[in-house]
Amino acid sequence: MENLFIPIGGGSEIGASCYLYIIDGVKIVIDSGIRFSRGNPYPEFELLKALAPELDAIVITHAHVDHCGSVHILSQLYPETPIYTTNETAQLLSLMVEDAIKVRFIKERNCQKEWEEYKLLDKALSLVERRDFYDKIEIKGIEINLLPAGHILGASSVLIKYGEGKSVFHTGDISLSRQETVEGAKLPKGESIELLVSESTYFYSGKKFNREESEEEFFKSVRETVNRKGKILVPVFALGRAQEIILLISRGMREGKIPPITVYVDGLAREITNIYENLLEKEIFNYYVQPAPTYEGLSFKEACRENLREADCILSTSGMLLEGTPSYVYGELLSKRGENSIIMSGYLSEESFGYRLINDKEVLKRFKCQVRKHHFSAHSGKDELEVIRESLLPKRTVFVHGYPGSKDRLNHAFNREVIRF
Ligand SMILES: [Zn+2]
Ligand SMILES: [Zn+2]
């Protein structure tokens, strides 16, 4: 029987990840995300419904909204289909999707629709089946295993075993390198892999990461700012990067690489860090790094001003310094004085304000403070993605979740493209 793999979203883009597999007649969708850019935020659900009127399983790899932000919309289309994910992802997902709905409807100002979406999310959450890593999930004669993917807490790769000893490996967002909050990914062993579907966030740019170097540069930027009595903003993604940076700063203080400073964590990062503390059963907040206080009766901007008076350093979402988000408000306040710093710490999409601030001299001119970028990655660079391919020896590899250049299109799976294996 011919097996199919079709990206419904998240093919040659980072956003709206949604991948349909039809293997031995069993229909599985991995992930259901949203896009950050303007236009339709969802995967092409109409196409999905045409290709698969019924679904046997939905798997969510992790709780970043480009992988789970539309799970409630997908689940409405398939109200009987179980949603498999890890316990950690299940806990993080509800807060992340709720926030994505909130952010969208702040712009649209449509309370009725917003309320309906929360109800759909509740219904979807009731269909979630929590599984541990390596559990056998049996679906109509094929077996699915969730494997640790590194990346962020709870993130999994998906191994699908079928036929006589054959398998497909879907990396999801993956990192072989260990981070402060998660170990590196674990790859399957001894499998005969027909198809490897690999993420390619940093594949085409050829990026490699040197964590130690980035850490030293980050500490240096913090030291220099503190020495000239400036304040620091680190825009962070709420889930993953925020907790990594908190632990990095705490370690830097412990090891004497940066002086003791007061750090406030604001926005959604504050709530997500509380969930991390519960899941990891360890304290992430400490004497120096605290959740930012909230103030009754103050506007958000006034509260930010108050926090900047108290703290030396603010960690806040969004990580890409998107206009109208808390980090943007802090950034504007800090931009007025040359001794302050904004330190970018991760991925910046080309449409984001953070990207323009780094790359457009005209935008930078408006900011008197220092702007730095030290790259920490929760994704494997090109070198690690090659290691994955070489150690799994798949019969065929296709890349998704990335932007191939014009010359690298051959092994890339685009939205709507049908890959047969
Ligand atoms: Zn991710
Ligand atoms: Zn992603």
Residues 290, 143 share a domain? no
- pLDDT for 335 equals 96
Regarding whether 222 and 155 lie in a shared domain, the answer is no
Output the CA–CA distances (angstroms, integers) from residue 105 to 30, 72, 98, 99, 102, in the order listed: 26, 15, 11, 10, 5
Distance 217 CA to ligand 1 centre (A): 24
Cα 3 to ligand 1 centre (Å) = 27
Residue 396's H or E segment, with its range, is strand 396-400
Q: What pLDDT is recorded for position 133?
A: 98
> Is there a contact between 173 and 379 (Cβ–Cβ < 8 Å)?
yes
The last residue of one of the domains, among 373, 388, 405, is 373
User: How many distinct structural domains can be found in the chain?
Assistant: 2
Q: Calculate how far, in angstroms, residue 65's C-alpha sits from the geometric centre of ligand 1.
A: 8
Angle 300-310/326-334 helices, nearest 10 degrees? Answer: 60
Whole-number CA gyration radius for the chain: 22
pLDDT at 224: 97
155 CA to centre of ligand 1 in angstroms: 8
Does 25 share its domain with 98? yes
Q: Are residues 35 and 172 in the same domain?
A: yes
Q: Residue written as tokens 């504007």? A: 332
Query: What integer pLDDT is reported at residue 202 of this predicted model?
Result: 92
Pairing of strands 142-148, 137-139: antiparallel
Q: Are 164 and 223 within one domain?
A: no
Ligand found nearest the CA of 239: 1
128: part of which helix (H) or strand (E)?
Answer: strand 128-131
- Please tell me whether residue 1 adopts helix, strand or coil conformation: coil
State in Å: Cα 106 to ligand 1 middle: 24
Neighbouring residues of 11: CB distance < 8 A, sequence distance ≥ 6:
400, 412, 413, 414, 415, 416, 417
Ligand 2 centroid–CA 341 distance in Å is 28
Which helix (H) or strand (E) element contains residue 372? Answer: strand 370-373
Q: Kindly report the CATH number assigned to the domain that includes residue 240.
A: 3.40.50.10890
Q: What is the DSSP letter of 249?
A: H
φ, ψ dihedrals at 6, nearest 5°: -135, 115
For residue 406, the model assigns a pLDDT of: 83
- The answer to whether residues 307 and 253 belong to one domain is yes
Same domain, 328 and 287: yes
Cα 102 to averaged position of ligand 2 atoms, centre (Å): 20
Structure tokens at 418: 């049908």
Q: Which helix (H) or strand (E) holds 216?
A: helix 211-227
Greatest pairwise CA separation for the chain in angstroms: 68
Task: Supply the CATH number for residue 71's domain.
Answer: 3.60.15.10
- The verdict on 70 and 186 lying in the same domain is yes
Note down the domain range covering 115.
Answer: 4-206+378-420
Distance from the alpha carbon of residue 418 to the mean position of ligand 2, in angstroms: 21
Per-residue tens of pLDDT for the chain, all 421 residues: 799 999 999 999 999 999 999 999 999 999 999 998 778 999 999 999 999 999 999 999 999 999 999 999 999 999 999 999 999 999 999 999 999 999 888 777 778 899 999 999 999 999 999 999 999 999 999 999 999 999 999 999 999 999 999 999 999 999 999 999 999 999 999 999 999 999 999 999 887 888 899 999 999 999 999 999 999 999 999 999 999 999 999 999 999 999 999 999 998 999 999 999 999 999 999 999 999 998 999 999 999 999 999 999 999 998 999 888 899 999 999 999 999 999 999 888 888 999 999 999 999 999 999 999 998 999 999 999 999 999 999 999 999 999 998 877 889 999 999 999 9
CA–CA gap between residue 233 and residue 327 (Å, rounded): 8
Same-domain check for residues 414 and 284: no
Closest-approaching ligand to the CA atom of 155: 1
CA of 134 to the centre of ligand 2 (A): 22
Distance CA 224, CA 222 (A): 6
**Do 29 and 175 lie in a common domain?**
yes
CA of 67 to the centre of ligand 1 (A): 7
* Nearest listed ligand to the Cα of residue 402: 2
Give exposure, 331-351, as e/b (b: 16+ Cβ within 10 Å).
bbbbbeeebbbbbbbbbbeee
388 Cα: distance to centroid of ligand 2 (angstroms): 18
pTM above 0.85, yes or no: yes
All residues with CB under 5 Å from ion ligand 1: 64, 173
C-alpha 52: how far from chain center: 27
Shared domain check, 199 and 60: yes
Claim to verify: residue 20 and residue 147 sit in the same structural domain: yes
